[in-house]
A and B are shown apart, each in its own frame.
Chain A
Amino acid sequence: MNNSISVKVKDRSSFLFYFVCYLFVVIVAVISLIPFLMLISGSFTSEHAIRFSGYSLIPKEWSLSAYELIFKTPMTVIHAYGVSILITVAGTAIGLFVTTMAAYVISRKDFKYRNVLSFFFYFTTLFNGGMLSTYIFYIRYYHLKDSLWALIIPGLFNVFYLLIMRSFVSSVPSALIESAEIDGAGEYRTFFQIILPLLQSGLATIGLFIALGYWNDWYNAMLYINSTDKYPLQYMLYTLMQKTEAMSRIASSAGIPVMDMPTQSLKMAMAVVATGPIVLVYPFVQKYFVKGITIGSVKG
């Protein structure tokens, strides 16, 4: 008797728990998704509807004019895409190379200076020169103003990725390295022919982290790039946001009808064009990010 009551109470409390549990997760998921839906909806809404009734979750008047405007003069977008792809591909390739070799070296237990070297890298995360002196060094001493290298160099080397990579390398049995040495392979040969082929999932994980950083970067472009033909996609989007805001402000204060110019929906359409590739590849690469974050959180 007593038992059955307690079971009932337990059932009721677990039902309540699962109700709260699902409800919470659904709410968080919906909130995570809504801004994306509003963005897409905004890009397909006619300028007229946005002006009179604002943004909404479902377009009040459908329109493709924003996308038509973007693809009528596609060269700007294509060019910015080109810059973004160039820095992402070059930066990821060089960054992976630099990171993996350094990670291999500091993971070698028979390397006398590995602790010194690890601390030498780690120290840069504890103390740094800050935004101002970094900027001055890039501009004045390395002459990187308006150079694409100013977009590539900052993302090449990251201590957090180095540490994640080191644990990938450490998972390769050290007996492999030793036997390669006994067979007379040099250090470079051991690395490129024995270790590197076994690091595929580590390379994919770190490569994707580096690539995401490059793709989403706008900050370095803002600091260092002057010529519009070197703007990467994210920064182009940012300047467009600023420009259309200024444009519509000027136009409305001068009494010029801006109705026909799809400035509002254009912003949203550009944001969709810039985010599209990430959302498309996201389902396929998500697991690598989960893996990297998990390893990073264990190793600190």
Chain B
Amino acid sequence: MYKGGLAVERYLKPVNYRRRKYAALLSMAAPAIVLAVAFAYFPMSGLVLAFKNYRFDRGVFGSAWNGFENFRYLFQSGTGWLITRNTVLYNLLNLFTSQALAILIAIFITEINNMIFRKVSQSVIFLPYFISWVIVGTFVYNIFNYETGALNTMLKSMNLSPVNVYSKPGAWPWIICFFNAWKWAGYNSVIYIAAITGIDSEPYEAAEIDGATISQRIWYITMPGILPTVITMLLLQVGRILRGDFEMFYQIVGNNGQLFNATDVIDTYVFRSLLQNSNLGMTAAASLYQSVLCFAIIMVVNAVVKRIDSDYALF
């Protein structure tokens, strides 16, 4: 392959020429590199706070060391287990419900031949992706608040007694799961619709000739066809199993102490202690534990996947 540059120049000073070219290219990437270093790589050093007694006036590096005290407090107080359990369970629940819903939507929408109906319904289902979680929080309030919420309006009109959902922790996993699926259904189904339209049309034609029913066609051609996409989506999400979607939890649940046992995830816990400026040591420990474990899970899963079938590996 031709490496660029005037032939004469390359012949005269190949090393210098290439060095100049690399320097120019690096300078083009410089703004991104600076942003990554300053706002992603430098803050990684802040993770050492997990082993320190943080004081704002002394900063990250001036604060005194205190060994594993922070971790001891985090797990002895029970908070560590609670928020880890909640984070993992919510992620599993949300992962399966939202992916299953998206796959169903994609399969059904691609079977619809009426283009106008298909376009309009797809647009409508995609709409929730575009609104902020603040607005979703408004919806939740609109539906569930005790005095004026739509749910209680409906219950009262049917002569049933109103419920105070905000004092029923058991209901919230389902509410959160519902709104998560609701917000991401359109986005995820776009991915699966792309996967389905990418499937070779030949097997479909053969199935048509052999007289396969629609459900047989879906089960034996479409499902295996989108399997690689399903696996990729699962792998991407597994790496995030310890990361709670902070914006969602915070806007749907808010700072409602009654619901913490059922709804507190690592990210909301960290955020709350940040705002209240309390338990910063335990928070730093939770942060480090989250970052390190997430990294370890991704590396292990990726290595295993690479061994089984390197096509599915993330990197």
Point out residues on A near B: beta carbons under 8 Å.
6, 10, 13-14, 17-18, 21-22, 24-26, 28-29, 31-33, 35-36, 38-39, 42, 50-51, 53-57, 97-99, 101-102, 104-106, 108-113, 117, 119-122, 124, 126-137, 140-142, 153-154, 156-157, 162, 177-178, 181-182, 184, 186-188, 191, 212, 215-219, 223, 234-235, 237-238, 241, 264, 267-268, 271, 274-275, 278-279, 282-283, 286, 289-290, 293-294, 297-298, 300
Q: In whole angstroms, how far apart are the Cα atoms of A296 and B44 in the complex?
A: 26
How far apart sit A289 and B294, CA to CA, in the bound complex (Å)? 28
Which residues of A have CB within 8 Å of B200?
A: none
Measured CB to CB, the closest approach of chain B to A281, in angstroms, equals 9
Q: What is the minimal beta-carbon distance from A297 to any residue of chain B, in angstroms?
A: 4
Q: Which residues from chain A contact B172 at a C-beta distance below 8 Å? A: none
* B278 CB–A CB distance under 8 Å: no
Cβ contact of A157, chosen from B32, B194, B271, B295, cutoff 8 A: B32
Contact A111:B22 (CB < 8 A) given known A21-B108, A21-B112, A54-B150 = yes
16 contacts between A and B (CB under 8 A): A13-B214, A24-B105, A28-B185, A29-B121, A35-B136, A54-B148, A55-B153, A128-B291, A130-B270, A157-B32, A178-B4, A216-B134, A218-B247, A293-B191, A297-B232, A300-B236
Q: Which residue of A lies closest to B214 (CB)?
A: A17
CB-CB under 8 A from B128, the residues of chain A are 32
Q: Interface SS of chain A: helix, strand, loop or mixed?
A: helix
A25 close to B139 (CB less than 8 A): no
Closest B residue by C-beta to A215: B132
Query: Which residues from chain B contact A136 at a C-beta distance below 8 Å?
Result: 43, 46, 49, 59-60
B182–A31 CB distance below 8 A: yes
Whether B215 and A162, one on each chain, are in contact in the complex, defined by CB atoms closer than 8 angstroms, is no
Closest 5 CB pairs of A and B: A133-B46, A54-B153, A129-B43, A216-B132, A102-B32
B29 at interface by CB-CB < 8 Å: yes
In the assembled complex, B304 has its CB within 8 A of some CB on chain A: no
Given contacts A13-B215, A54-B152, A113-B22, 15 further A-B contacts (CB under 8 A): A6-B211, A55-B153, A57-B150, A129-B44, A129-B291, A130-B47, A130-B288, A132-B46, A133-B60, A186-B24, A241-B134, A241-B137, A282-B123, A293-B190, A293-B194
Q: Classify chain B's interface size.
A: 35 or more
With A25-B109, A188-B28, A271-B138 known to touch, is A98 a contact of B35 (CB < 8 Å)? yes
Known: A32-B185, A106-B29, A153-B35. Is A300-B232 also a contact (CB below 8 A)?
yes
B11 on the interface (CB 8 Å rule)? no
Supposing A267-B138, A300-B232 touch, asked if A188 and B295 sit within 8 A by C-beta, the answer is no
A131-B32 contact in complex given A50-B148, A142-B38, C-beta closer than 8 Å: no
Complex formed: what's the CA distance from A56 to B298 in Å?
Answer: 46
Contact A133 B134 (CB under 8 A): no
Known: A130-B290, A187-B21, A271-B138. A54 touches B156 (CB 8 A): yes
B142 CB contact (under 8 Å) in A55, A109, A177, A300? A55
CA distance A248 to B67 in the complex (A): 48
What residue in chain A is nearest B127 (Cβ atoms)? Answer: A32
- Chain B residues within an 8 Å CB radius of A278: 130-131
| CA of A31 to CA of B186, assembled, Å | 12
Q: Known contacts A17-B214, A54-B150, A300-B232; is A187 also within 8 Å of B108 by CB?
A: no
| A167 → B minimal CB distance (Å) | 14
Interface: B93 (CB within 8 A): no
Q: Which residues of A contact B239 (CB under 8 A)?
A: 126
CA distance A111 to B21 in the complex (A): 9
What B residues does A101 contact at CB under 8 A? Answer: 28-29, 31-32
- Name the A residues within 8 Å of B246 (CB-CB): 131, 219
Are B270's CB and A132's CB within 8 A?
yes
Secondary structure of the B side of the interface?
A: helix
Rounded to whole angstroms, the CA-CA distance of A117 and B25 in the bound complex is 11
Instruction: Give the distance in Å from the alpha carbon of A126 to the alpha carbon of B292 in the complex.
Output: 10
* Bound form: Cα–Cα A6–B213 in Å: 11
Which residue on A lies nearest to B124, using beta carbons?
A29
Give, as a whole number of angstroms, the nearest-CB distance from A65 to chain B.
16
**Are A140 and B185 also in contact (CB < 8 A) when A181-B4, A187-B21 are?**
no
Given A101-B29, A102-B32, A127-B295, the answer on whether A135 and B274 have CB atoms closer than 8 Å is yes
Residues of B within 8 A of A99 (CB): 32
The docked-state distance in angstroms from the alpha carbon of A25 to that of B124 is 10
Residues B298 and A126 in contact, CB atoms below 8 Å apart: yes
B123 touches A17 (CB 8 A): no
Flag if B150 contacts A212 (CB, 8 Å). no
CA of A153 to CA of B40 in the docked complex: distance in angstroms?
A: 11
B132 near A218 with CB under 8 A, answer yes
* Closest chain A CB from B25 CB (angstroms): 5
Query: Which residues of chain B from 286 to 308 have any CB-CB distance to chain A below 8 Å in the complex?
Result: 287-288, 290-291, 294-295, 298-299
Nearest Cβ on chain A to B273's Cβ, whole angstroms: 8
Query: In the complex, which of the residues A17, A126, A132, A223 contacts B287, with contact meaning CB atoms closer than 8 Å?
Result: A132
Could you tell me if A140 and B47 are in contact, using CB atoms closer than 8 angstroms? no
Q: Measured between C-beta atoms, what is the minimum distance from A178 to chain B in Å?
A: 6
Name the distance in Å between A123's Cβ and chain B's nearest Cβ: 9
- Return A203 CB to nearest CB of chain B, in Å: 16
CB-CB < 8 A to A127: which residues of B? 44, 291, 294-295
